[in-house]
C-alpha cells in the first residue's frame, strides 16, 4: 500500500488528539463531547467486532446485540449481587471490580457466541441472518421477563465498577479507561486481521468449497471467528453498562444489532478503521439530527442511502481517496 509510512504518523496523531480531547472539551466548555467520545469508542469496539465476522468472514449476523447486551448484564448482575451481598445462585459472589467484571463479560459472551454460532453457522445466507436474529430476540424476551434483574426496566448500577487507584466517578477517568481498552482491542484486532486466520476467513467468504478442497473445515474456522467477534461485542457491552451505569433489555434489542450493522456499512465493510469511523459518524449524526427533529432516523436513513450508493466502501473509502493520498 502506498504511503504506508504515513500510517504510524497518522495513528500517533490520532491517539494524541484522543488523549487531549477531554481537556480541550472542558477548556472550551463542551463537556458533553467527552461523553460523546466515550460512546463512540465503545460502539467502535462493538462495530469492529461485528465487522470481523461480517466484513472479513462474510457472515451477516443480525444478532450481535445479544453479545453486547449480555456483556452489559454481566456487569449489572454482578453489581446487584455485590450490592445485596448475596451470591449469584448461592455460589458466585457479586463484585464491583472492573478487573473481574470485564473478563467475566468476555467469558460469558464467548460462551453465548459459541452456543449461538454452533447452531446458526450450520446454515448460511438468509437463514443465517434470520437464525441469529431469532436467537438474539429470544434472549431479549428472556431478560424482559426476568423480574429478578429488573425485567423491562433494566438494572441500575449505582456506581461504576472500581479500578484500583482510579476515581471512577470522574467522567474523564471513564473516558481514559475506555480509550485504553479500545487501543488494546485495536492492537489485538490489527494482529488478528493480519494473521493467517483472517486470510483463511477471507478465503472462506470467497469460496467455502475451495477452502474445503484444500483441507480446511469451514465450520470450525467460522465458529472461532464468531466467538471472537461475540466476545468483542460483550466487552463493548460491559463498558457501556459501566459508562451508563445501567443495563437494559434495549441493549439486546434487534434494533441495536441493526445500529451496529449501520455503523459498519457507514464506515466501510471489511476495513480496520471503518467501523470506528462509522461509529463516530453514527453517534454524531444521531445527536445532531436528534437535536433538530425527533424523526432523526429519517435523516440518518437518507445519509446511509447516499453513503451506500455513492462512496463505494463507506466513509473510510472517501478518506483514502482524498487528493494527495492514495
Partner 1 sequence: MLKVSGLQTAYGRSQVLFDVELTIGEGEVVTLLGRNGMGKTTTVKSIMGLLKPLAGEILFCGQNVRGATPESVARRGVGLVPEGRQVFPTLTVRENLVATAANRLGRSDAWTLERVYELFPRLSERVDQSAATLSGGEQQMLVLGRALMTNPKLLILDEATEGLAPVIRREIWGCIEALKGEGQSILLIDKNLSVLKRLADRHYIVEKGRTVWSGDSAALDRDSELVHGYIGL
Written as nine digits, the cell of 315 is: 466513509
Q: How far is the CB of 264 from partner 1 (least distance, A)?
A: 17
Cα torsion 256, 258, 261, 266: sign: negative
How far apart are the C-alpha atoms of 234 and 74, rounded to whole Å? 9
Which residues bind to partner 1, rule: CB under 8 A? 196, 199-200, 202-203, 206-207, 209-218
Q: How far is CA 289 from CA 38, 47, 284, 302, in A?
A: 19, 21, 8, 12
SS3 322: coil
Distance CA 252, CA 242 (A): 16
C-alpha to C-alpha distance for 244 and 231, rounded to whole angstroms: 20
* Helix axis angle, 254-267 to 65-84, nearest 10°: 130
Q: How far is the CB of 206 from partner 1 (least distance, A)?
A: 5
- 60 or 83, CB closer to partner 1? 60
Q: How far is the CB of 272 from partner 1 (least distance, A)?
A: 14
Specify the residue, 201 or 236, whose C-beta has the smaller distance to partner 1: 201
Grid coordinates belonging to 161:
465498577
Q: Which is nearer to partner 1, 204 or 241 (CB)?
A: 204
Q: Smaller CB distance to partner 1: residue 208 or 259?
A: 208
104 Cβ neighbours under 8 A, 6+ residues apart: 74, 78
66 versus 228: smaller Cβ distance to partner 1: 228
Q: Which is nearer to partner 1, 27 or 213 (CB)?
A: 213
Q: Who's near 3: CB < 8 A, 6+ residues apart?
A: 325, 326
User: CB-wise, 28 or 206, nearer to partner 1?
Assistant: 206
Q: How far is the CB of 313 from partner 1 (least distance, A)?
A: 13
Cβ proximity of 162 and 94 under 8 Å:
no
Q: How far is the CB of 51 from partner 1 (least distance, A)?
A: 15
Q: What is the CA radius of gyration of the chain?
A: 20
Contact 94, 84 (CB under 8 A): yes
What is the smallest separation between the CB atom of 201 and partner 1, expressed in angstroms?
9
Would you say 264 and 258 are in contact if contact means Cβ atoms under 8 Å apart?
Answer: no
CB of 214 to partner 1, least distance (A): 5
Dihedral (CA of 235, 43, 21, 244) sign: negative
Cβ atoms of 241 and 101 closer than 8 Å = no
**Alpha helices (H) along 268-295:** 274-292
- Shortest reach from residue 204's CB to partner 1, in Å: 9
Nearest-approach distance from CB 200 to partner 1, in angstroms = 5
Closer CB to partner 1, residue 18 or residue 216?
A: 216
User: Of the two residues 27 and 214, which places its CB atom closer to partner 1 in the complex?
Assistant: 214
Amino acid at each position: 500500500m502506498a504511503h504506508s509510512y504515513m500510517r504510524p504518523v497518522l495513528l500517533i496523531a490520532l491517539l494524541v488528539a484522543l488523549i487531549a480531547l477531554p481537556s480541550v472539551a472542558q477548556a472550551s466548555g463542551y463537556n458533553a463531547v467527552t461523553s460523546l467520545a466515550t460512546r463512540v469508542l465503545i460502539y467502535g469496539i462493538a462495530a469492529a467486532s461485528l465487522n470481523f465476522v461480517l466484513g472479513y468472514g462474510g457472515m451477516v449476523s443480525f444478532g450481535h446485540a445479544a453479545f453486547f447486551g449480555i456483556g452489559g448484564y454481566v456487569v449489572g448482575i454482578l453489581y446487584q449481587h455485590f450490592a445485596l451481598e448475596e451470591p449469584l445462585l448461592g455460589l458466585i459472589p457479586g463484585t464491583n471490580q472492573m478487573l473481574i467484571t470485564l473478563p467475566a463479560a468476555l467469558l460469558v459472551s464467548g460462551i453465548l457466541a459459541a452456543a449461538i454460532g454452533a447452531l446458526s453457522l450450520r446454515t448460511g445466507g438468509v437463514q443465517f441472518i434470520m437464525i441469529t436474529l431469532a436467537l438474539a430476540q429470544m434472549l431479549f424476551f428472556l431478560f424482559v421477563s426476568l423480574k429478578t434483574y429488573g425485567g423491562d426496566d433494566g438494572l441500575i448500577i449505582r456506581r461504576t465498577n472500581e479500578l484500583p487507584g482510579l476515581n471512577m466517578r470522574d467522567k474523564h477517568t471513564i473516558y481514559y479507561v475506555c480509550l485504553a481498552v479500545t487501543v488494546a482491542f485495536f492492537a489485538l484486532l490489527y494482529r488478528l486481521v493480519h494473521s493467517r486466520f483472517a486470510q483463511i476467513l477471507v478465503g472462506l467468504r470467497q469460496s467455502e468449497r475451495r477452502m474445503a478442497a484444500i483441507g480446511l473445515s469451514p465450520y470450525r474456522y467460522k465458529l472461532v471467528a464468531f466467538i471472537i467477534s461475540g466476545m468483542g461485542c460483550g466487552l463493548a457491552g460491559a463498558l457501556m453498562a459501566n459508562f451508563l451505569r445501567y443495563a437494559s433489555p434495549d441493549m439486546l434489542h434487534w434494533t441495536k444489532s441493526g445500529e451496529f450493522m449501520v455503523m459498519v456499512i457507514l464506515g466501510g465493510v471489511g476495513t480496520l478503521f471503518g467501523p470506528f469511523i462509522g461509529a463516530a459518524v453514527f453517534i454524531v449524526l444521531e445527536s445532531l439530527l436528534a437535536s433538530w427533529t425527533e424523526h432523526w432516523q429519517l435523516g440518518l436513513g437518507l445519509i446511509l442511502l447516499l453513503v451506500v450508493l455513492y462512496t463505494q466502501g463507506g466513509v473510510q473509502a472517501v478518506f483514502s481517496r482524498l487528493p494527495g493520498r492514495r
